[in-house]
Amino acid sequence: MFWMRDKNGTVVNLAGDATKLYRLGANGSTWSDVSKPGGYTTGGYWDFIKYGERVIATNGVNAVQKMDIGTDAAFSDLGGSPPVAKRVAVVRDFVMLGDIDGKGPNFVQWSGYNNSELWTPDIATQSDQQQLFGNGGAVQRIVPGRWATVLLEQSIYIGRYTGPPTIFQFDEIAVKRGTPSPRSVVWAGSTIWFFGWDGFYRLDAGSGEPVSISHNRISRWFADNSDPTAWEDMVGTVDIPRRLLIWAFKSSASATNNDRLLIYNWVADKWATAEVETQFIGEYVPPGVTLDNLDTFLVNGIDTDSILVDSSAYSGGGLNTMAFAADNTGGTFDGAYLTAELESSEVSDPGMQRLFLSAVRPLIEGNGSTATTVSVGTRNSLEDTPVYTNLKAPHSASRQVPFRRNARFMRFRVQVTGGFAYADGVKITVNPAGGER
């Protein structure tokens, strides 16, 4: 999926499946077929870019597609006979393709200067191609901008514009550090994030080595809770208003679609997970809904198709996140709050003495609908698996949850229903229990 604004500020939302390309109507709820006549041969995921008032799309099997917004009613083959390719990006004034059919998965090729329909290599037009030598494998993603950041399976290159005769100079900045998951690569500003075989990484575009954001945090958890054979189907997006990175992935080989979300707040430097089934997830800008087109937006009537009146789905122009569900419907994350589960790190006495817990107070800032319950996990040896109590609600007056637990190690889970604004942790009432038991 993909969105853009045209020169008049009109929002355009596009999406593609195995055989067709679609455009979201002005009512914000109906997708129309805008494929070229005959549709497409089943291929891989679509890559979209905006080049002036033109949208260019490619899927690695069919001819590269183009639609001139405001002029074309449907997509058609891009002129100039560009090669079939899996990846596409805009780098300066060039359209750059990667993983080129018939040449090699480690090839990139770019159009002529300021012209997306010049593809014959020529110093005069500055169209050319380059093989990225070495053991990097296939081009997985090209991040656009002033330079090309090219992520391969086992390598990362930076392509800087140098002008004729070389046009672009490609330098390898990371060896044996790439990605098995093309759509895990997301970016905001000059910062790039991606999944890199052994965890998640941050990369400052144009310089530097990738830096792990998951080592000793969630890398092992992800390895244990994801299907390695489906890493190629992982899909990431940036939720800028909420300062979140969201990756959808399959938890097991039996999952039909991506059934889990991994969520990272890059400002708070915190991780979370959710159990939500999606086919695809990405950035979305609603076209806006007025009273005049409300009947077409809620096609089954306001009582059946009701959406929260303060949902951002009604307001146009603001960045949002959309996901396509298993039944091919698209929607935003503006529904009822899911139950949140927060778990603390483990606490223990510095001298390894046993502790006696008498109360836990959840520090959750919410609203009149917020409700919390608390569970305590205990163990006496690091070799043991923590055993959790049943969930208990706080006392109505003290807002504490009474417990009588005696153990050497303790951790705490808080479940929150009805939504919340901030979660600061738990305040525990604990004292040394004495003894070496």
Rounded to an integer, the average pLDDT of 269-282 is: 94
10 and 156 within one domain? yes
Question: Hey, what's the torsion of the CAs at 212, 214, 215, 220, to 10 degrees?
Answer: -140
Tokens 């480690």 map to which residue?
Answer: 106
Of 244, 259, 284, which residue sits at a domain end? 284
Q: Is the per-residue pLDDT at 108 higher than 90?
A: yes
Q: Could you tell me the pLDDT band of residue 298, with boundaries at 50, 70 and 90?
A: low
Q: Is the per-residue pLDDT at 28 higher than 70?
A: yes
E strands, 9-46, in order: 11-16, 21-24, 31-33
Of 264, 284, 304, which residue sits at a domain end? 284
344 and 280 within one domain? no
Q: Could you tell me the pLDDT band of residue 364, with boundaries at 50, 70 and 90?
A: very high
What CATH number is given to the structural domain containing 60?
2.130.10.10
398 and 258 within one domain? no
Q: Could you tell me the pLDDT band of residue 208, with boundaries at 50, 70 and 90?
A: confident
Q: Tens digit of pLDDT for each residue in 309-331? A: 555 555 555 788 999 998 888 88
Q: Could you tell me the pLDDT band of residue 26, with boundaries at 50, 70 and 90?
A: confident
Residue 352 located in a structural domain: yes
Rounded to an integer, the average pLDDT of 170-198 is: 95
Rounded to an integer, the average pLDDT of 90-97 is: 97
Q: Which of 109-123, 201-215, 317-331 has the highest average model confidence (pLDDT)?
A: 109-123
Residue 234 located in a structural domain: yes
pLDDT, residue 91, reads 97
Rounded to an integer, the average pLDDT of 205-228 is: 91
pLDDT, residue 16, reads 94
In three-state form (DSSP H/G/I as H, E/B as E, the rest C), the secondary structure along 290-314 is CHHHHHHHCCCCCCCCCCCCCCCCC
Rounded to an integer, the average pLDDT of 158-177 is: 94
217 and 98 within one domain? yes
pTM value > 0.75: yes
349 and 258 within one domain? no
Cα three-residue angle 432-435-437, rounded to 5 degrees: 110
- Could you tell me if 147 and 96 are in contact, meaning their C-beta atoms sit under 8 angstroms apart? no
Residue 323 located in a structural domain: no
Residue 327 located in a structural domain: no
256 and 351 within one domain? no
What per-residue string of b and e applies to 257-277 under the rule 16 or more CB within 10 Å gives b?
Answer: ebbbbbebeeeeeebebeebb
Q: Tens digit of pLDDT for each residue in 406-432? A: 999 999 999 999 999 989 999 999 999
pLDDT, residue 130, reads 96
240 and 145 within one domain? yes
Residue 391 located in a structural domain: yes
Of 243, 259, 284, which residue sits at a domain end? 284
Residue 376 located in a structural domain: yes
Residue 298 located in a structural domain: no
358: its two tokens: 């008498």
19 and 122 within one domain? yes
158 and 30 within one domain? yes
What CATH number is given to the structural domain containing 346?
2.60.120
Q: Is the per-residue pLDDT at 212 higher than 70?
A: yes
372 and 251 within one domain? no
Give the domain extent around 103.
2-284
208 and 75 within one domain? yes
Residue 126 located in a structural domain: yes
Q: Is the per-residue pLDDT at 102 higher than 60?
A: yes
198 and 78 within one domain? yes
pLDDT, residue 309, reads 53
Total domain count for the chain? 2
pLDDT, residue 223, reads 95
Report the chain's mean pLDDT, rounded to a whole number: 91
